[in-house]
Structure 1
């Protein structure tokens, strides 16, 4: 999710970047970041349902440009919070922020970066049609993506400053400076003009020990009040004119770290705790323990594991799952998770964070209309006794969580998750149409690829995209008794 302020700090010191002509290389792509960046930076509608066909053209053009320059992309998508829930509170805050932004977009009609519901779906479907290798992680993708970039010795394409902290031999290509639509050909060789960031260049410029970068990122990214009150600006060089200082908190923290020569990360973290404002002895001990644990946990995020993605890209095998997470999930469902068709949070945490979209905030959330569809979906995935699912949605402008009971009723009672792909298609179709409240005769004469959208239209027209999103997931879990629509159309 990035380190607040770091991007602006680096843009102000752009000579940290290296200008390169990128070609003839593997490239690991932060797919979630790219999907949103491409839509947000295009002159496309964000508030009235989206312009998916024009967006698809953008996606196709970018990946065709990569191919023309001899670049082989491998795309990795986020798949939820993972097993640890380390950044759950950050996701909560982010959802609350999106609510306020979406309300502003609804009131003034301006584009505010709240992207339409099918943005990532169209992105993934387009790449699958183009045969671009794509995988969805079972948690956040950053660590796994960075680990594979280190193993393959190739750069990462992303706008997420978290990648600036990892030890990546070929560095990061920032999305803003990746000029794919201005690619050039010289001496019979095509290339993309771009900039490259490396950890070594950053550490040399700010004169800090590379092993302290995770400490920097974890302190800078922690919003605990006690850490926010540390006056980092007092550590700025005395001879540095204050009018040149634009980011006093980050620059002061970097100056302080630069003076921590020959100190371990743990020693440096302990020293940072001593800089917090004075409190009573009991409170100070409790707060220091709490904050230090938070920062240490965040630092662990920057320790690269061995990558579980190589097998998927080289052999097509789904990434392995921690036994405590999804050991009971059938293999066919794991394949859906790895392809990005399903998210893992429902299985792992019994939780679904619902999408925020631009709508009338005095009315109920459009997600409530499609809740009955999700209840059947949860019933198929978890079973009747699988426990309630916690859904996060809005009530007015408040982010709330409600418990939703999985439903297994009607024809759905004849299906089992482990053998569902082998069930008769007529039975799977009946479950889908029963849930949507549509008779099969209604779809007679409708072209196959339009039957699911038409069935959803019969179910509900005002909140159509929200319902189509959940109906498409239900159709997927039922092994597509109705053909998958071409969503960009």
Structure 2
């Protein structure tokens, strides 16, 4: 498509990042700018190890800083679910199948397959909330809402989404390829981001077609809503060998038409087919064209005056329990030879379905998930729960299988994190060994991780089993956070960017399995070590008691009896390994003696502080205390 380019200084715009939309208000200029931009796909961060969320958070912060340097105040509008009419069902299904194939290739070969980490949107939303960016959530897809808002505020749009080449936006479109947000020019009030701008009017002039035919062009070219029989439009192009000859040929053919209705009828006749098929084709094309008609924006009043839009059809349909299926198939790096990572957290989603439906109904709930490499529709029975507002926490903890009194010993910000990790450790299959659990918790608590991440090879092929296990944990975390939100946040929401760094955690697992001494590569931090120990202790105590015929071995059951003695608990659990079950009780006694020595040290804190000043070597040794327990 032809693009009209100009370097511009802007102050107001709308923006899409990871399927989320920003809106920015104008402070000084008389014109505005609308931006749609995808950060997650262009960040270049590692994906195969489950996500580099801290680095992604930093990327978002830099982007917002660039905007605010140009005196831009952004607002965010998130995409919602798929259209309840399932007009895009075929397209959505095809994309899900492609994601499954890419995820399998990434796990098998270790190559980059553009697998967006599971918690990307959570990091995005939490980061923007922390940066005080106002947020709105659309019930369905946000394209038309954004276009309507851009048209109302006279904002151009920044995007690579081809739909925005069709919407009649008076202020135009800014293609992402030319939006140089990392290269802010000027200083102070004269700061600006170099970019280029596209206008539909320029496009129509270049190809000599009527502006009102652009939606017709989009429908005939084929989009998510319109599926037509293959037709060789390139026969009308000046040069049929060019890559875009099909679209160029269609545009050349449309030059002789002025009205959409006449164009559609002529195109259907040209493509042939039976009379009945022609009527269906005309209907399908008309529906596709409707997607480019701008509705009245429901977001203007929300952002300007805080007026919440009324319930829309999608919400009422959800409340009435008429949704036909739920999209569950997430992008996780996992091979076809292992079960879907989504299975572990299915009981949590069943509770959510029950809460959303409100009571037992005859409406069915289906999840779309994979079996091997095949996409399947799976019938799910909701779990119905009768509760009042004062019992929200009980519902959440019952779903996770943990007791409130044990969680209360932890700081509030760790409770959901620990409860979900306990749920994962008990339910994930294959069952994670203790090395995975310890590596996961240690990764959550380390402060200075940059050096260790640099030592790890970000492009190294991940261990398939480890990647699958941590994918299960992330899905459990995501579904638990959704359930927590649905219940009105009875537990504080964890900071996603802080609790999982994929490359780091995979490296910690590798170090444990190869016998590396962690204290040689990690900077000792006693506060972090203590929090790590508290979390591990809580998870071991929250582990359910074995029942008759349970999977626990005799040595594990003996260990659990020892754990009932809180005097032995503290250090016994810290060095327990599944591979050394037979020696667990003896190890507990050894750790208990070590614990006694650690407790004695606190009595001589003042003396040690003086010695630390006088003896550098002693100080270094004390910094490493506790690291052996990791």
TMscore range, shorter length: 0.7 to 0.9
Counterpart-to-counterpart distance in 2, 1:226 and 1:115:
27
Indicate the residue corresponding to 1:480 in structure 2. Answer: 489
| Residue 452 (str. 1) matches residue 452 (str. 2) | no
Q: How does 1:41-440 map to 2 (within 5 A)?
A: 41-185=42-186, 189-222=190-223, 227-237=228-238, 240=239, 245-260=242-257, 263-277=258-272, 279=273, 284-322=274-312, 324-327=313-316, 349-354=323-328, 355-386=330-361, 387-408=363-384, 412-415=385-388, 423-424=389-390, 427-440=391-404
Consecutive unaligned residues in structure 1, runs of 5 or more: 1-9, 329-343, 416-422
Contact 2:17/2:40, CA 8 A, preserved across alignment? no
Indicate the residue corresponding to 2:596 in structure 1. Answer: none
Counterpart-to-counterpart distance in 2, 1:188 and 1:224:
44
Report the Cα offset of residue 160 of structure 1. 0.9
Counterpart-to-counterpart distance in 1, 2:226 and 2:352:
41
- Decide whether aligned partners of structure 1 residues 231 and 20 sit closer, same or farther in structure 2, where only a CA change above 3 A counts: same
- Decide whether aligned partners of structure 1 residues 175 and 255 sit closer, same or farther in structure 2, where only a CA change above 3 A counts: same
Report the Cα offset of residue 21 of structure 1. 2.0
Indicate the residue corresponding to 2:13 in structure 1. Answer: 27
Report the Cα offset of residue 223 of structure 1. 8.4
Contact 2:159/2:173, CA 8 A, preserved across alignment? yes
Counterpart-to-counterpart distance in 1, 2:227 and 2:145:
32
- Decide whether aligned partners of structure 1 residues 225 and 125 sit closer, same or farther in structure 2, where only a CA change above 3 A counts: closer
- Decide whether aligned partners of structure 1 residues 480 and 125 sit closer, same or farther in structure 2, where only a CA change above 3 A counts: same
Q: Secondary structure at the match of 1:270?
A: helix
- Decide whether aligned partners of structure 1 residues 138 and 224 sit closer, same or farther in structure 2, where only a CA change above 3 A counts: closer
Contact 1:143/1:305, CA 8 A, preserved across alignment? yes
- Decide whether aligned partners of structure 1 residues 29 and 348 sit closer, same or farther in structure 2, where only a CA change above 3 A counts: farther
Counterpart-to-counterpart distance in 1, 2:91 and 2:172:
26
Counterpart-to-counterpart distance in 1, 2:133 and 2:227:
46
With normalisation by structure 2, the TM-score equals: 0.66
Report the Cα offset of residue 215 of structure 1. 0.7
Indicate the residue corresponding to 1:7 in structure 2. Answer: none
Q: Secondary structure at the match of 1:18?
A: coil
Contact 1:82/1:345, CA 8 A, preserved across alignment? no
- 86-95 vs 370-379, greater mean Cα deviation: 86-95
Report the Cα offset of residue 143 of structure 1. 0.7
Larger radius of gyration: 2
Indicate the residue corresponding to 1:334 in structure 2. Answer: none
Report the Cα offset of residue 176 of structure 1. 2.5
Counterpart-to-counterpart distance in 2, 1:222 and 1:487:
35
Report the Cα offset of residue 85 of structure 1. 2.8
Indicate the residue corresponding to 2:39 in structure 1. Answer: 38
Counterpart-to-counterpart distance in 2, 1:346 and 1:449:
35
Which is bigger in relative contact order (C-alpha 8 A, separation at least 6)?
1
- Decide whether aligned partners of structure 1 residues 229 and 88 sit closer, same or farther in structure 2, where only a CA change above 3 A counts: closer
Contact 2:207/2:251, CA 8 A, preserved across alignment? yes
Report which of the two has the higher share of strand. Answer: 1
Match of 2:5 among 6, 18, 24: 18
- Decide whether aligned partners of structure 1 residues 225 and 302 sit closer, same or farther in structure 2, where only a CA change above 3 A counts: closer
Consecutive unaligned residues in structure 2, runs of 5 or more: 22-36, 426-468, 499-630
Residue deviations 1:440-480, cap 9 Å, x none? 23324322212111111111143100101111111111111
- Decide whether aligned partners of structure 1 residues 80 and 226 sit closer, same or farther in structure 2, where only a CA change above 3 A counts: closer
- Decide whether aligned partners of structure 1 residues 453 and 345 sit closer, same or farther in structure 2, where only a CA change above 3 A counts: farther
Contact 1:346/1:352, CA 8 A, preserved across alignment? no
Counterpart-to-counterpart distance in 1, 2:6 and 2:47:
33
Contact 1:32/1:78, CA 8 A, preserved across alignment? no
Contact 1:30/1:156, CA 8 A, preserved across alignment? no
Q: Secondary structure at the match of 1:180?
A: coil
Indicate the residue corresponding to 2:540 in structure 1. Answer: none
Report the Cα offset of residue 37 of structure 1. 2.9
Contact 1:436/1:459, CA 8 A, preserved across alignment? yes
Counterpart-to-counterpart distance in 2, 1:165 and 1:286:
29
